[in-house]
Each structure stands twice: as C-alpha cells, then as structure tokens.
Amino acid sequence: MATTLITKLADGTLDVPDQVAIPFVIGDGIGPDIWRASVRVFDAAVEKAYKGKRKIHWKEVLAGEKAFQETGEWLPAETLASFREHLVGIKGPLTTPIGGGIRSLNVAIRKALDLYVCQRPTRWFKGVPSPVKHPEQVDMVIFRENTEDIYTGIEFPAESPEGKRVREFLTRDMAIDFDFTDDTAIGIKTVSEQGSKRLIRAAIEHAILHGLPSVTLVHKGNIMKYTEGAFKSWGYDLAETEFSGTTYTWRQWERKKAAAGEQAANEEMATAEAGGSVIVKDVIADNFLQQILLNPKDYSVIATLNLNGDYISDALAAIVGGIGIAPGANINYQTGHAVFEATHGTAPRFADTDTMNPSSVILSGVMLFEYIGWDEAAKLIVAALQQTILDGTVTVDFFNQMTDGKLLKTSEFGSAIIDKIKSGFDRSIYK
Ligand code: NAD
C-alpha cells in the first residue's frame, strides 16, 4: 500500500494522509525497551480508533550508537533528510558521543531542522505518586526556547588563547569594569527579538487554540535586562500588537492603573478575561520555581528561555511523577517540522532490563497524534494509561513509591495499556 507524506499547507495546517509514514529513531540505552512497548500501544490505539482506515507505517532511521555501529556515523545525513522529508518524527534518547566534534546529537537534530520550540506538557495522572499534596493542580505546557540563550555553545575555556582575547576585548575595547582574572572562562548569552517572538507567538497561539487562560513569560529580566528583560518586553509587544483583542497583558493593566487607578485597571482586566482573552503575564524565574509549588493552578502556558526552561521542566516533571512520565517535542511551527521525544536520557545502567517506564515515550506519541490531528487515538491512549495506573499496575519508578502497587516490566506495562484500549472500557470519566 502506498504511504504518503505529511505536508504543510499554505494556510498553516497539516495535510496528513490516512496511510502515513513516520520515521523513528529507536534510541540508545533504555531506548529500545521503551520504544518497543510504546509502538505497540500506538498501533493498537490507531487500530481501535480508526478500524483500519488509518495506519502509521513506522520507518526506522538511524542515530546514536546503532548508527555508529552500522554506518560509522553518529548522525547519518539520511536520518536528517528523512526527518526533513516526513516533517514529523519521533526519537528515543541518544548517547552523547565523547569527542568527535559533536556536542550532542539532540542539539544537532534541533539545529538542523531549526526546531525552536521545546514543548513539554506537564499534567498529573491520578494515582501517580507525587511529593506534593495537590499534584492535580499542575496542568501546564512549557514552551522553552530551543535555539538561543547561554546554550548556543559559544564559550571559551579560561586558559585558551580565545578566552584571553575575549577578556582583553571586553576590558580594552568595551571598557567593561570587571576584574577578569586569567582563570576566567567566558560564555556568551544570545537572545534575539525574532527568536523570542517566534517562541512566544507559538505559546500564545497554543493558548488561544486550546482555550487556555494565560501565558506566563518566565525570565530573569531583573538582572539580565538586555537579554531576559528584552524577552519579556518583546513578549508584551507581540501580545499587544499581533494578538490585540485576543490577549490582555499585565503591562496593559499597569498602564491603565497609572492612568485611571487600580480599580479601573482591575475592571479592564476582568472584562478582558470574561471576554475570553488570554492573560499574558510575567514572573521572575526564581519566584516561578516557588510558584509551581505554592500556586500551580495560577499557571497554564509557560513561555521561557532555554536555560530557565530546562530547570523548570525538570522541577515540574518531579511534581507529577518524575521523568519516567515526562514527554516532549521539538517543533518548528513555521515549517511544521516536529520531532517528539521523551525528556529523559538513555539511563544506560538500565539498558535491556525491561524495567523502565515507557510513559514518557507513550505520552510523546500522544503529543504526536495531537499534532497530526489524530485526536481520537491520543485520547484513547491517555485514558488507557490513566486506567492502568489507577489499577496500581506500574513500572518500578512508581512501584517504589507506592504501598499497594503491582510491579510490571516495561513490556507488561505496554501490554496492560493495550488490553485497556482493546477492551473498550468506559473512558467517559477522563478528559
Ligand atoms: P537519564 O535521564 O538518562 O537518567 C537519569 C535517571 O533517571 C536514571 O538513572 C533513571 O533512574 C531515571 N530514568 C530515566 N528514564 C527513565 C524512565 N523512562 N523510567 C524510569 N526512570 C527513568 O540521565 P543521565 O544518566 O544524566 O544521562 C544518560 C545519557 O543520556 C547521557 O549520555 C546523556 O548525554 C544522555 N541524554 C540524552 C537525552 C536525549 O537523548 N534527549 C537527554 C538527556 C540526556
């Protein structure tokens, strides 16, 4: 049967054929175990939801250790070409090669496809052990900028001639008043207007599309004024221009307060909220890490810079059950390219043990299904996963924190979810 490709249409939507080919990288370490469990769940959900009318034809592409063993290359050009051609792909975790000029295979893939959004939804499933009292109050989607910030790798070791030159340039040419001792290493933080705006645009569009109440810009602009402070200002500028009428910003509230007093400002914001406007607000990153513990229900969509996003997504994942259940995606909303992946790494100690939690990959697949508009398959998986956890049948990461769980292997956990999908259980209680 001829399979066809996903294409992005001029109106920005995706054209997804019923018989669709999707490339996958099996991944290193625990990757093969959790992929094998997950792909069976994906296929069962598609079969149940569409009764043979739709099907995914998984196409393996190589990266990481398997690629190196088979081709001598860590990231063969055909793999990138395949992700480029098919638009949408999914990958397992990859070992970062030591030496050889590749900083990280994941970063190389993100760079090659300019996947500027790292999107990480964080929600709690009933029954998952959590260190907080009310994990159900966490329901956020993080939009982490993926291409800029201190993460670009522009850095100079303390002892290098380049490090010395940069220090001299800053002292002599830029008259920077700082005591650069000879043992000072330097890293460069880059934050651009277009890079910030395209990330924040995707976050606001997500909130509007899904009827979510707010977008919070998380930054350290109080200290890093021209980078993180600018991220905040550009975000407000964008909301007030491109999304005028569909958003209401805290900056607009401030302006109204200055002009007409606090009560008038509150009334204006309440009217905007009642009219369905997305509230765009900002929080300083360190305060935000308190807020997610103290007042998580006040936050919905989060737009933040690369480093903040890295910390925040791990902290949020810990609240809702840890990285065994934390999915993610790297997306370019302009070209449509998207690579879905669990947020954790290869956990090499547990390779081939059939013990780790495949939920991270299963929920990354749910994101993939939602992205291509196969919502019925996505909902089936979420409901079946939820019911499996509620039954107390879990992998070791959850089992160790439960008093009355039943321990399942990775493959058994996948099978338990598939049994639920096939059984047609009542899933009306799940959203
Ligand atoms: P890791 O995320 O691989 O593992 C840390 C710990 O988290 C594990 O020891 C395990 O206890 C737990 N864990 C991870 N996945 C789990 C799962 N599915 N279920 C239950 N528990 C799970 O982090 P690490 O050990 O720092 O990194 C190992 C390797 O992974 C490194 O080479 C690193 O570069 C790479 N890495 C790859 C990616 C990626 O491919 N996206 C991301 C992060 C790290």
| Residue 122 near residue 315, CB atoms below 8 Å | no
Give the pTM: 0.94
- Give the model's pLDDT for residue 429: 55
**pLDDT (tens place) for every residue of the chain, 431 residues total:** 566 899 999 888 999 999 999 999 999 999 999 999 999 999 999 999 999 999 999 999 999 999 999 999 999 999 999 999 999 999 999 988 776 666 788 888 999 999 999 999 999 999 999 999 999 999 999 999 999 999 888 999 999 999 999 999 999 999 999 999 999 999 999 999 999 999 999 999 999 999 999 999 999 999 999 999 999 999 999 999 999 999 999 999 999 999 999 999 999 999 999 999 999 999 999 999 999 999 999 999 999 999 999 999 999 999 998 999 999 999 999 999 999 999 999 999 999 999 999 999 999 999 999 999 999 999 999 999 999 999 999 999 999 999 889 999 999 999 999 999 998 766 665 55
Task: List pLDDT tens digits, range 2-34.
Answer: 668 999 998 889 999 999 999 999 999 999 999
What separation in Å is there between the alpha carbon of 348 and the centre of ligand 1? 7
Residue of 323, 327, 357 lying closest to 340 (CA atoms): 327
Q: What is the atom index within ligand 1 of the atom nearest the CA of 397?
A: 20
Alpha-carbon distances of 54 from 16, 44, 73, rounded to whole Å: 10, 11, 34
- Give the model's pLDDT for residue 100: 60
- Give the model's pLDDT for residue 152: 86
Encoded tokens for 365:
């697949």
What separation in Å is there between the alpha carbon of 346 and the centre of ligand 1? 4
Q: 35: how many CB neighbours lie within 10 A of its CB? A: 25
Beta strand pairing call for 88-91 and 139-145: unpaired
Q: What is the atom index within ligand 1 of the atom nearest the CA of 348?
A: 28
Residue of 366, 384, 387, 369 lying closest to 421 (CA atoms): 384
Residue of minimum CA distance from atom 35 in ligand 1: 345
- Give the model's pLDDT for residue 101: 61
Altogether, the residues listed in the chain come to a count of: 431
Q: In whole angstroms, give the CA distance from residue 314 to residue 361.
A: 16
H-only helix segments in 210-324: 230-241, 250-260, 262-274, 285-294, 306-319
- Give the model's pLDDT for residue 250: 97
Task: List pLDDT tens digits, range 40-49.
Answer: 999 999 999 9
Ligand 1: residues with CB < 6 A are 30, 34, 93-96, 106, 323-324, 341, 344-349, 356-357, 360, 397
β-bridge mates for residue 15, sequence order: 7
Q: Report the share of the chain in percent with pLDDT over 90.
A: 90
Q: What is the atom index within ligand 1 of the atom nearest the CA of 341?
A: 41
Q: What is the atom index within ligand 1 of the atom nearest the CA of 360?
A: 18
Q: What share of the chain is helix, strand, coil (3-state, %, to 5)?
A: 45, 15, 35
Pocket-testing residue among 25, 35, 323, ligand 1, by greatest number of atoms within 8 A of Cβ: 323
Pocket-testing residue among 34, 118, 346, ligand 1, by greatest number of atoms within 8 A of Cβ: 346
Burial class (CB in 10 A: 0-12, 13-18, 19+), 178: exposed
What separation in Å is there between the alpha carbon of 93 and the centre of ligand 1? 8
* Amino acid residing at 387: Q
Place of tokens 């009217």: 271
What separation in Å is there between the alpha carbon of 323 and the centre of ligand 1? 8
Task: List pLDDT tens digits, range 222-240.
Answer: 999 999 999 999 999 999 9
Catalytically active residues, by annotation:
151, 220, 286, 310
Burial class (CB in 10 A: 0-12, 13-18, 19+), 155: middle
